Amino acid sequence: MLSQRQAFRNRPRQGLIEICLDDHDRLLIADLAGQFRSLLSEGDDAALQRLYPTAYPDHPEHNVEYGQLVHDDLLRGRLEAIEVVEATAQEPSLSLDQLNAWITVVSGLRLVVGTRLDVSEQDEFDPEAEDAPMQSLLWWLAMLLDEAVTAASDYLPDPLTP
């Protein structure tokens, strides 16, 4: 998995974001994306709960309506993003739209893995734990997400420029 080098590097003149992952990491993200598709297609895994958060915790009937309204669109968006990640994992660079698809997939994977591990933001990595490989994956996904969001943020308009 990724060491201390960047996962993404901006190429503003080309309007692209270079993928700086090694072959192993590229295969890993493509494989994880495929597993994510399978999990989403099954749709009944408790680990998916954080992907569809409760909008109205005090009003279950409103929450059911909200879920019926947005669930299919959220699912379709994630499945489309997975297709982009699988199609671009071996490419040298991404467009901003493709990077946004990566952000969608990596964020979703991170939520699923975190739910499976039942971790909170305060939990620390324990290399001696039985679930250390999954903890390591969660850390890697968090780092990848952070670097993807940082790369994407470079393309945001300057709020001080009219």
Q: Which residues contact 124 (CB under 8 A, 6 or more apart)?
A: none
* Cα angle 12-82-79, degrees, rounded to a multiple of 5: 125
pLDDT for 62: 83
Residue at 1 is within a domain: no
Residue at 162 is within a domain: no
Residue at 78 is within a domain: yes
Domain residues for 43?
A: 10-152
- Which residue numbers in the chain have pLDDT < 70? 1-4, 121-122, 162
Residue at 40 is within a domain: yes
Partnered with residue 16 across adjacent β-strands are 11
pLDDT for 34: 98
Residue at 158 is within a domain: no
Coil, helix or strand at residue 93: strand
pLDDT for 3: 52
Q: pTM of the predicted model, to two decimals?
A: 0.88
Residue at 86 is within a domain: yes
Residue at 3 is within a domain: no
Residue at 4 is within a domain: no
The total domain count for the chain is 1
pLDDT for 162: 66
